[in-house]
Amino acid sequence: MFKLNLKIALRNLWRNRIITSINVGGLAIALAAFILVVMYFTYETSFDKTNPNYNNIYVVGRIYPDFKTNYTSPPFAKAIKQNFPEVENAGITKRGFFEFTMKNGKNTLFAKNFMQADYNAAKILDLKPTGGLEKPAGEVDRLSYLSEESMKVLYPNKTDNKPEMVGMGSSNSGITSKINGSIINNLHSNITFDGISIGNEIGQGENYGMNNYTTYIQVKPGTDVANLEQKITKLYRNELLKGETDQKTIEEIKSISTFLDPLSNQHLKPKAGNDAPYKILIALSVLGILILVIACINFTNLSIAQATKRAKEVGIKKVMGAYRFQLTTQFLAEIFIQCLFATVLALIVAELVLPYFNNLFQINLSVWHIDNDLIWQLPLILCLITLIAGIYPAIVLSGFKPALVLKGNFSTSKQSYWLRNSLLVFQFSIAVIFIIGLFIINSQLKYMRSEDLGFTANQVVYIKNQTLFNNPVKFGSLNFESVRDKILKIPGIKSATVATDVPDGAENGTNGYTFEGVQSSLDFVDVDFDYFETLDIKLKQGRFFSQSFSTDTANSAVINESAVAKYGMKNPVGKTIKGCNIDYKIVGVIKDFKAQGFESAVQPTIYTIKNPCGNYKTQIMLKIEENKMADALATLKAQWPQINPKDGQDFRYEFLDELYGKLFKKQEQLQSVFFAAALLTIFIAILGLFAFAKYITNGRIKEIAVRKILGASDIQIFKLINRSFLVMVLLANVISWPVAYILTKKWLETFAYRIDLPVLPFMSSALITILLTVITVSIQAKKAVKANPVDALKYE
């Protein structure tokens, strides 16, 4: 019986090979897209899951009235461990703040990400040096490791794990450091590095004012995290209140709290960070599911449409004693065969598309990886789509009544008719949403690329540097003045400056500042002369820093418009703002500029040349004439050992406009995904429409023949056939517009600076779907319209 049913199934599929091809092809394409989405979702949600303590690790952060941060001070971790028995371990890490050079002969490594960690943090984060994690011998001793990738750069022929001495900085610096071995750098983790230095303790001697470390804690299983969070907040306030007598400061401390953020949140949605990656992942997952649903709808629609061709087969089998369950199982098996073919084809398509997908998201997924979860996911998906796409058609086909179908009085039910039309409307509704979404994403990206940023990134070169240029000169830092003078002698260089930060979307440091008795937190950027001129930032009031004023290097400050608004200042130039034990005189107000991109509002910011509580000034920026750019960069590279001896021959740079452009990367990814999704949904919907129009047209051949004999023109018949489909497409637009409006409005609200929601994408979507429908249906109808009526009616 099985063999007979298999033959019937294969013959039936071959007899209707056009419909079968559309079914299998559409499902395969949608399934390929879904497979890629499933792989990407699995990848993005499994960061750090190899850590055996994954579910019990938390990052400790701080909450102030106007901001959140993951950065804490070194003593806090030890205090948490000592006070709360439910905390098994607590440790801290610190990221490096600039890229530095490591050398072994002619082999050079540019370490962009060198991290410090205490021994407890290394245990919590499951860091694995080759040979195992060792505890440093003394309190100040450090064990330094390079990632396996970095070790291969410096020592390509190394086969042992013996310690090595490497040169630090330029070749003539004479500075060396011991590397104790290599360490596994888990790229599928939030804690990645080129190298790491592990000590028993780090940050010795630093107090609660030095908040530039990340604190990790590991709690015992079953710990009440919400209760622990409250206790840590109380501890933190008590630590800050020690020795404090100023009543105003005491009240401010009481407004500070802490939070615990699970390790599982850190990659996609950190509490003190941007959750845009999480939103994009959810959007991408929904797109993948919808594309697969549309393909399943196609399958269901066409299977129902084909029902009449199987009616007599079902009638005869029922007369011969077949039960409905047996027929349902048979038809489900036929659908399973088609889904199996589609799955095999989908894997081939996914493998072909995967290099482009990996390039878009800068990842390295593989369909055939041995640890791939697709091994169990694909069979589950196959069974699921077989049931979704096949259960209703199988029930319809197996439910035919023998007496009716064998008399030739069979017709599909009104329920089937309405279901087919409803599914077609749903398909086009999804396609319309994708089209509208694509247009609006394009409009927002166009706005972001063309909108005035408030500064000019073109022709500005960011020099990667490890020399510290602080004012006053301290901790081995140098004065930038002599370096600037040498740089400006090179033809084509218009200005040069140095600062703690460049406008590339990175967060600035934050300190408390008081103006006329009002205390608040401000972002701070420590700069040098010509900072605003180099970036072409606009002045609103007062003046920029100038070498003509000696006080500018001592206690002058420039603030932005947002800082003026935050304090409610009136005529701020000449007034005093206090911070870090300095009474700063405000000498200028600049117009806001979008240093953090378009998703975050411009933060209230203060700019100073002298800041005892600030960071190191390492970010050199140069404004270079466009027609002299190549010559100026070549000269800089040749003269860099003399201009900046600490960096020596290792001259490295980036163009600031390219660096800032990376802020658009996530939205550009979303644009590419929506473009592909819109094309796929339209393609699959048109495939279904094509096959459905073919079925409807074939069913009305005799009607068309009669109408032609009675004098109907070709145009009238085209209008007749198109009318019902146009009604469905218009209905799909009406249904999808409110949904698209809500979704795109929500997406636009993630931007602080955005376009107004335009009407044109909604009208364009209707025009596109109507044109595609008319073209698709007319192509199918053409054969019936041009046919000779005699051929259709000769047996009547």
Q: Both 97 and 226 in a single domain? A: yes
Q: What span, in angstroms and rounded, lies between the C-alpha atoms of 311 and 223? A: 63
Residue 460 belongs to some domain of the structure:
no
Regions of the chain short of the pLDDT cut 70: 1-19, 139-140, 170-174, 303-327, 369-372, 390, 392-394, 396-417, 419-420, 471-478, 648, 695, 698-699, 787-796
| Cα distance between residue 259 and residue 230, in whole Å | 8
CB 269 within 8 A of CB 261: no
In a domain, 48, yes or no: no
Based on the domain organization, do 494 and 579 belong to the same domain?
A: yes
Q: Report the pLDDT value the prediction gives residue 127, as an integer from 0 to 100.
A: 92
Q: How many structural domains is the chain composed of? A: 3
Q: Who contacts 349 (Cβ-Cβ below 8 Å, separation ≥6)? A: 28, 29, 32
At 735 the pLDDT is 93
For residues 316 and 421, membership in a common domain is answered with yes
Claim to verify: residue 216 and residue 260 sit in the same structural domain: yes
What is the pLDDT, as a whole number, of residue 426? 85
Residue 315 corresponds to which tokens in the numbers above?
Answer: 């009638």
Q: Are residues 170 and 191 in the same domain?
A: yes
Query: In DSSP terms, which residues pair with 578 in a beta bridge?
Result: 514, 583
Q: Residue 681: its pLDDT value, please?
A: 82
For 662-687, the DSSP string reads: GGGHHHHHHHHHHHHHHHHHHHHHHH
Question: Do 15 and 86 share a domain, yes or no?
Answer: no
555 within a domain of the structure (yes/no): yes
Dihedral sign for Cα 675, 681, 685, 690, please: positive
Helices (H), 528-611: 531-534, 561-567
Name the domain boundary from 217, 244, 265: 265
Burial degree of 258 (CB within 10 A; 0-12, 13-18, 19+): buried
pLDDT for 292 equals 84
287 and 314 in a single domain? The answer is yes
Q: In this structure, which amino acid lies at residue 428? A: F
437 and 470 share one domain? no
Is residue 655 a part of any domain in this protein? no
Residue 651 included in any domain: no
DSSP string, 118-173: EHHHHHHTT--BTT-----SSSS-EEEEEEHHHHHHH-TT--S---EEEEESSTTS
Q: For residue 760, tell me if it sits in a domain.
A: yes
Q: How far apart are CA 418 and CA 491, in angstroms?
A: 76
The single-letter DSSP state of residue 366 is: -
Mean pLDDT for the chain?
84
Is the link from the previous residue into 52 a cis peptide, with omega within 30 of 0? no
Give a yes or no: residue 496 inside a domain: yes
Q: Which domain holds residue 609?
A: 466-646
Query: Do 36 and 350 contact (CB within 8 A), yes or no?
Result: yes
In angstroms, rounded to a whole number, what is the distance separating the alpha carbons of residues 216 and 197?
A: 17
Please check whether residues 691 and 641 belong to one and the same domain.
no
Q: What contacts 723, CB < 8 A, 6 or more positions away?
A: none
The residue type found at 768 is I
Maximum Cα interatomic distance, the chain, rounded to a whole number of Å:
107
At which of 233, 265, 297 does a domain end?
265
Chain-centroid distance of CA 475 in Å reads 39
pLDDT tens digits, one per residue of 436-492: 988 998 999 999 988 999 999 999 999 987 777 876 555 455 678 888 999 999 999
What pLDDT was estimated at residue 453? 92
List all residues 6 or more positions away from 709 whose beta carbon is below 8 Å from its beta carbon: 789, 793
Predicted confidence at residue 632, as pLDDT, reads 94
- At residue 340, the pLDDT reads 86
Q: In what order do the strands lie in the sheet with 107-111?
A: 107-111, 100-104, 164-168, 175-179
Tokens 């948490």 sit on residue: 80
> Are 367 and 222 found together in one domain?
no
Q: Is residue 228 part of a domain?
A: yes
Same structural domain, 696 and 588: no
Asked whether residue 222 falls in the same domain as residue 241, the answer is yes
Of 594, 618, 646, the last residue of a domain is 646
CB-count burial class (<10 Å; 0-12, 13-18, 19+) for 580 = middle
Report residue 725: phi and psi, to 5°: -70, -40
Query: Which tokens sit at 662?
Result: 């990376």
